[in-house]
Chains A and B, each alone.
Chain A
Amino acid sequence: MATTTEDAGPPGPAGGDPMRPAPFRVARRVVETHDVFTLWLEPVGGPGGFSSQPGQFDMLYAFGAGEVPVSLSGPPGPVKQVVHTIRAVGPVTQSLQRLKRGDVVGLRGPFGSAWPVSLAEGSDVVLVAGGIGLAPLRPALYHVLSQRERYGRIVLLYGARTPRDILFAREIETWRGRFDADVEVVVDRAAPGWHGLVGVVTTLVPRAHFDPHNAVAFVCGPELMMTFTVRALAHHGVVPARTWVSLERNMKCAVGFCGHCQLGPTFICRDGPVYRWDRVAPLLGVREL
């Protein structure tokens, strides 16, 4: 399967060995929710160039624990610090959660395909995120907001489990305060005191204000959430060929050698994680994959 985005670069750090982690130091650490945290990482030994595209991922190596793929969640393009938002769900991510400022991790990347932000120019952009899926979408949102005049309406629809699981809550309020972007948040369940929306993220699609016939949709979250969201978008008029999703599988080598993340004819680490929906949907319907 061909790479489905128009502007993804070759895998791995430019000019480096993609299999060799480079040491990066924790410059800053922020607790986002009870189980999600964000790390700002900078190269050990002084400033180094690091550039990524929205939607790409790094392999983070917690020494003595292991390596995991983590999407970049900071601004795309050349940066001095690499930003990763991580949910602590297993031994490696829990090791990363225990890191303090000054600690060192290994980093390989960036890898994979990117959200096609250039292709979306001139269109309305609808970003639909579920749970931790907001983190891989945030660089795309940063990009379209920074190039605001190149896009039509910008809509962010975000679903979280409960109010306390809402990622980047302060930043969401900032985005909501903009007159040139529509932001809606919904939670699956809430106790009294929550005055926001309750329901699933798919219910936000018909409420959102955008032109479905001139819209590009980027969707990121659990696979079932993405399936139902794409269905809701299609029902609303957004064609699958204008819808992109980010897939997650057991990525190990990140360069398409080991086969752990193989999905039929495609390796998600190399050809993904961002795919055009109509090209990957038939594979997702195959139980054996």
Chain B
Amino acid sequence: MQTLEPILAQIPLFQGMRPEHLKLIAGCASNARFDAGQFIGRQGEPADKFWIVRQGRVALEIHAPGRGALTIMTVAENEVLGWSWLLAPHQWHFDAYALTATRAIALDGKCLRGKFASDHELGYELMSRFSQLIVQRLEATNLQLLDLYGDHD
């Protein structure tokens, strides 16, 4: 049976990882599909998974009273959707829904956290990679907050 290991090896998040680590991660991976408009996660709900988008586009939204739903970012091909599975309290911070029909690789966070407990190197490796991802997203958020294209006179 073909595993998701070779596909995961091509994903930027996992590039350069040791084969034994990739094998452990692939053991927690499965394919997923979402229809356009389908919610993948809701703010406040348990976050026990994350996804690598293979095809399609996912929007992260926050609902602001009086302003409705605001899209704060989109996640596209080969990008990571969700990091709340990694950090307590393991809850979604935003709503996530498929803007278009979306194919993804789902990774079971509970399964991975269990493996981290017995393989600290794997835990350290993934934590390092997700930290970099979180920093990139924080930097992007800062740029959005700066409103670079607005009037600043």
Contact = CB atoms under 8 A, between A and B. Distances in A.
Interface of A: 89-90, 130-132, 159-161, 165, 186, 188-192, 194-200, 202-203, 206-207, 221-222, 224-225, 228
Interface of B: 12, 57, 59, 68-74, 76-79, 99-100, 139-140, 143-144, 146-151, 153
A199 B140 contact: yes
A90 B151 CA distance: 10
Contact of B149 (A191, A199, A202, A222): A222
Contacts of A130: 148-149
Contacts of A199: 73-74, 140, 144
A221 B146 CA distance: 14
A102 B74 CA distance: 45
Contacts of B77: 207
Max chain A C-beta neighbours (<10 A), residue from B143, B144, B151: B143
Given A165-B149, A188-B149, A197-B57, A225 B72 contact: no
Contacts of B139: 228
A200 B144 contact: yes
B143 A224 contact: yes
A93 B77 CA distance: 41
A191 B144 contact: no
B98 to A, nearest CB: 11
Contacts of A192: 68-69, 71
B70 A207 contact: no
Contacts of A224: 143, 146, 148
A200 B149 contact: no
A189 B70 contact: yes
Contact of B151 (A89, A198, A228): A89
Given A90-B153, A197-B76, 6 more contacts: A131-B149, A189-B70, A198-B59, A221-B149, A224-B146, A225-B148
Nearest to B73: A199
B100 A222 contact: no
Given A199-B140, A202-B143, A161 B149 contact: yes
Contacts of B150: 161
